[in-house]
């Protein structure tokens, strides 16, 4: 049998008396696309921190095949070797002089900040190809601090992919992007997965832009969770059980729409999970 790219066994994470999740058993296969869904505060981004080595589990074990045995964690948005990481928009403060092309190059240099492949023809080629792939040629030489949120996010995607990762962790990578760029970034991530067998964990509040790519869903709500295909998890019965209130799930035109009491799910709020509207 193929070794899992990521494996969690009896994994629990708590902060004081509050349990984000407990008893989580999950095997993610090489090349699998897993969407991680749930309301704010349910532990979606924290799960990525666990996989990156930033956050310790309260109990249980985690194993990431692509990660070094001695986890170094993440600094400045950089992932351990063999992993790519797209952080949420605005969670990293960039030095004023750091340009987009420099950020992408760090995806090859790792934690060495300017050493490694700097100046080599192969490095220049790979960085240029990654920038072109996300359509960032026109602003890649400008300081990151002067770029819009959407421009910065496209460069983060290029940085995450330039190192050809075996595991790609995406924390709300479509925020600050319009519909066209959401589709372009999603297609780019999916192409990397299909061509190279990269495992993708995609944290999102809106599943519809990636619905056709998703193999399975991990849905987290108030310490509870459900794992399965979109047909298994994204149902009225499953989400009503997770939210402990009536939730309606309907499929219209190839999209999933979730509605329910305002305290649980509200389709009229574009920032709430699975809203049909876009920010």
User: Domain of 119: which CATH number?
Assistant: 3.40.50.300
Name the band, by pLDDT with cuts 50, 70 and 90, for residue 78: low
> Is there a domain that residue 108 lies in?
yes
> Is there a domain that residue 107 lies in?
yes
> Is there a domain that residue 76 lies in?
yes
* Alpha carbons 209 and 73: distance in angstroms, whole number: 29
CA separation (Å) from 103 to 42, 99, 161, 166, 239?
30, 6, 12, 20, 39
Residue 93 lies in domain:
72-165
- Residue 59 or 68, more confident: 59
> Is there a domain that residue 91 lies in?
yes
What's the domain count of the chain? 1
Quote the pLDDT of residue 205. 87
> Is there a domain that residue 77 lies in?
yes
Mean pLDDT of 225-247: 96
Name the band, by pLDDT with cuts 50, 70 and 90, for residue 277: very low
> Is there a domain that residue 236 lies in?
no
Tell me the pTM: 0.84
pLDDT in tens, 161-214: 998 899 999 999 988 788 888 888 899 899 889 999 999 999 998 899 999 999
> Is there a domain that residue 136 lies in?
yes
> Is there a domain that residue 245 lies in?
no
Residue 3 CB coordination number (10 Å) = 10
């Amino acid at each position: 049998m193929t070794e899992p790219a990521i494996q969690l066994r009896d994994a629990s994470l708590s902060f004081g008396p509050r349990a984000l999740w407990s008893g989580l058993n999950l095997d993610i296969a090489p090349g699998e696309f897993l969407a991680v869904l749930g309301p704010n505060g349910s532990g979606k981004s924290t799960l990525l921190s666990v996989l990156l080595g930033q956050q310790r589990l309260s109990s249980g074990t985690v194993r990431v095949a692509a990660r070094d045995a001695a986890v170094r964690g993440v600094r400045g948005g950089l992932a351990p070797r063999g992993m790519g990481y797209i952080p949420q928009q605005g969670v990293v403060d960039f030095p004023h002089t750091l340009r987009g092309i420099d950020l992408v190059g760090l995806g090859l240099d790792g934690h060495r900040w300017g050493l490694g492949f700097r100046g080599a023809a192969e490095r220049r080629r790979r960085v240029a190809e990654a920038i072109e792939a996300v359509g960032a040629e026109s602003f890649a030489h400008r300081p990151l601090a002067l770029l819009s949120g959407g421009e910065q996010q496209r460069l983060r995607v290029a940085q995450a992919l330039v190192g050809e990762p075996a595991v790609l962790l995406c924390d709300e990578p479509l925020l600050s992007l319009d519909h066209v760029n959401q589709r372009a970034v999603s297609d780019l991530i999916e192409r990397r997965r299909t061509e190279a067998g990269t495992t993708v964990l995609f944290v999102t509040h809106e599943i519809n832009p990636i619905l056709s790519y998703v193999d399975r869903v991990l849905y987290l709500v108030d310490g509870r969770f459900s794992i399965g295909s979109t047909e298994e998890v994204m149902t009225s019965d499953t989400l009503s059980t997770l939210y402990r209130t009536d939730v309606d799930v309907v499929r219209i035109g190839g999209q999933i729409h979730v509605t329910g009491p305002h305290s649980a799910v509200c389709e009229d709020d574009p920032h709430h999970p699975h809203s049909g509207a876009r920010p």
